[in-house]
Structure 1
């Protein structure tokens, strides 16, 4: 009887060990796969977001005096954003839901700024100036989109590891600036 109990303990211990190893190995592999996917997505998203960030330079935070856009400029800006979204790199496919919402709000603001909705191209839009309200709406939407892009890729965050933080720059004379 002692032999049977000992044998049963060995078998049961082996089974529990195998099940435990399976569960921990499987969960570890799933975490590795999810991490690899997240890293790949982040890298691809970063490339697309950099391009979109550069495309958005046509809509600065403030228009320089005398450089306010015309309706024809808004048509061109809208096309540049559209080309980024559906272009060869399929940038729109990589937008997070929050960034996509802001991107579409920007496209809508550009469309509203163009005018009646009949301006399909630059010639129809003309060189008439954009209203102050439409200009403000376009600039606000572009700014919000840029902030969301920065948040999505995490570049506005300080490093998470304390040892990786950059020290203060020493000013001439030994004083930190």
Structure 2
């Protein structure tokens, strides 16, 4: 009888150990696959976001003094540039997070409203209003901040002494 209890205990222990090992290995494999997928997605997103960041340079934080503010026809070209990034060979739009996509679509809507306002048509040479200019630049800045957040570039370093200071306010240009 003691042999039977010992054998039964050993068999039960081996069975429980095998089940625990199976569940642990399965869970570990799932985590490894999810991590690998997330890492690949993050690498692709970083590449696409860098390209979008460069496309957004047409709408800087403020217009440099030596440059003229864009005309409505320039906004039409900007719309094409953003469209080409979204649907181009690299399919950048596929990699936008939900928050970034929302901001991106708001920016495109503002561009379209401003580009075709007042029936200017495709060769609109009229200047932007101050409100249109400010709205476009604000949403473009919001998009760039979200891109940095999505790829982790907006997170402060873990070492306290290396953290950057606050962002400087833009100068008043008297607009």
Per the shorter chain, which TM-score range? 0.7 to 0.9
Structure 1 residue runs of 5 or longer lacking an equivalent are: 168-177
What's the offset of the Cα at 1:28? 0.6
What's the offset of the Cα at 1:125? 3.9
Q: CA contact under 8 A between 2:70 and 2:128: conserved in structure 1?
A: yes
Q: CA contact under 8 A between 1:99 and 1:145: conserved in structure 2?
A: yes
Equivalenced residue count is: 161
What's the offset of the Cα at 1:110? 0.3
DSSP-derived class of the 1:60 partner: coil
1:1-177 equivalent positions in 2, closer than 5 A:
1-65=1-65, 67-116=68-117, 124-160=122-158
What's the offset of the Cα at 1:118? 6.2
Give the RMSD, CA atoms, in angstroms: 1.9
Q: CA contact under 8 A between 2:145 and 2:154: conserved in structure 1?
A: no
**Residues 113-169 of structure 1, C-alpha deviation per residue, up to 9 Å, x if partnerless?**
1134866xxx62421111111111111110000000000000122344x5xx869xx
TM-score (norm: length of structure 2): 0.86
Question: What is the distance in 2 between the residues matched to 1:14 and 1:125?
Answer: 79
Structure 2 residue runs of 5 or longer lacking an equivalent are: 164-175
